């Protein structure tokens, strides 16, 4: 079980309360698909992903990016039981979708970059450390079916 400090809990909740999911979600997934083009193979039914402009303007990418952020809300609300919170999602991604588990780390890195750009100087080193810990726990929970 992960131990969370009061600062970490408050920081994670504060970060998510300030995010515009309609902006951050699409930017995060688009960044991942552009910077790591091999991740596009999981989104073959999303249509045109041929270049950065197509990805940035793709409504299915935007919608799924928003879905990802809303899914992270579940972890924010269940910080003491993230592993069980994501049990079904882990099975879906590992057994049905066959997603390479390293892609979760890539997406977490892209989210950190987008959040840092969104928050600017307010995203301090201490906040980033708490955010990184949170995302590491989420990624670990999603990867558990692969082990």
Type and span of the H or E element at 59: helix 59-77
Stretch 57-73: mean pLDDT: 94
Residue 117: φ, ψ to 5°: -65, -40
Contact 64, 20 (CB under 8 A): no
pLDDT tens digit sequence for 110-141:
999 999 999 999 999 999 999 999 999 888 87
Stretch 4-8: mean pLDDT: 96
CATH architecture for residues 6-143: Orthogonal Bundle (1.10)
Contact 66, 21 (CB under 8 A): yes
Residues 6+ apart with CB under 8 A from 137: 2, 75, 82
Q: Has residue 97 got a pLDDT over 90?
A: no
Percentage of residues of the chain with pLDDT beyond 90: 65
**CA pair distance 89, 2, nearest whole angstrom:** 20
């Amino acid at each position: 079980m992960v131990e969370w400090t009061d600062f970490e809990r408050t920081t994670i909740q504060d970060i998510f309360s300030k995010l515009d999911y309609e902006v951050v979600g699409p930017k995060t997934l688009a960044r991942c698909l552009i910077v790591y083009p091999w991740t596009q193979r999981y989104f073959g039914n999303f249509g045109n992903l041929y270049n950065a402009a197509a990805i940035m303007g793709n409504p299915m990418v935007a919608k799924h990016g928003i879905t990802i952020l809303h899914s992270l809300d579940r972890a924010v609300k269940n910080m003491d039981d993230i592993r069980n919170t994501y049990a079904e999602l882990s099975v879906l991604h590992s057994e049905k979708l066959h997603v390479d588990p390293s892609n979760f780390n890539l997406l977490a890195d892209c989210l950190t970059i987008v959040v840092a750009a969104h928050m600017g100087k307010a995203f301090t080193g201490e906040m980033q450390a708490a955010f990184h810990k949170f995302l590491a726990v989420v990624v670990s929970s999603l990867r558990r079916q692969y082990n």
